[in-house]
């Protein structure tokens, strides 16, 4: 979704992308939900259909996943 140094999406070369997933091994809001919300604010042609944190208390190591899809496609 973003380049590490700029945090800006690099989708211009991928105009045919219809869906994508973001998954991190972080539990930090600024690395997960905030990135998704920022991306959606800058790219209104996408929406988020699923977003969830999986806590270490649920038997996993702790991670985040979000599914994004291009609207109307």
Q: Is pLDDT of 2 > 80? A: no
pLDDT at 7: 56
Query: What DSSP line would sit under the chain, residue for residue?
Result: ---TTT-----TT-TT--EEEEEES---GGGTHHHHHHHHHH-TTEEEEEEEEE-GGGTSS-EEEEEEEETT-
Per residue in 14-68, pLDDT (tens digit) is 678 899 999 999 999 999 999 999 999 988 999 999 999 998 888 778 899 999 9
For residue 3, is pLDDT > 50? Answer: no
**pLDDT of 32:** 95
């Amino acid at each position: 979704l973003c380049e590490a140094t700029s945090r800006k999406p690099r989708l211009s070369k991928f105009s045919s992308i219809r869906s994508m997933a973001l998954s991190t091994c972080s539990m930090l809001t600024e690395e997960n939900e905030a990135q998704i919300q920022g991306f959606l604010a800058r790219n209104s042609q996408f929406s988020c259909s699923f977003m969830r944190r999986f806590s270490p208390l649920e038997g996993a190591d702790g991670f985040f996943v979000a599914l994004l899809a291009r609207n109307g496609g």
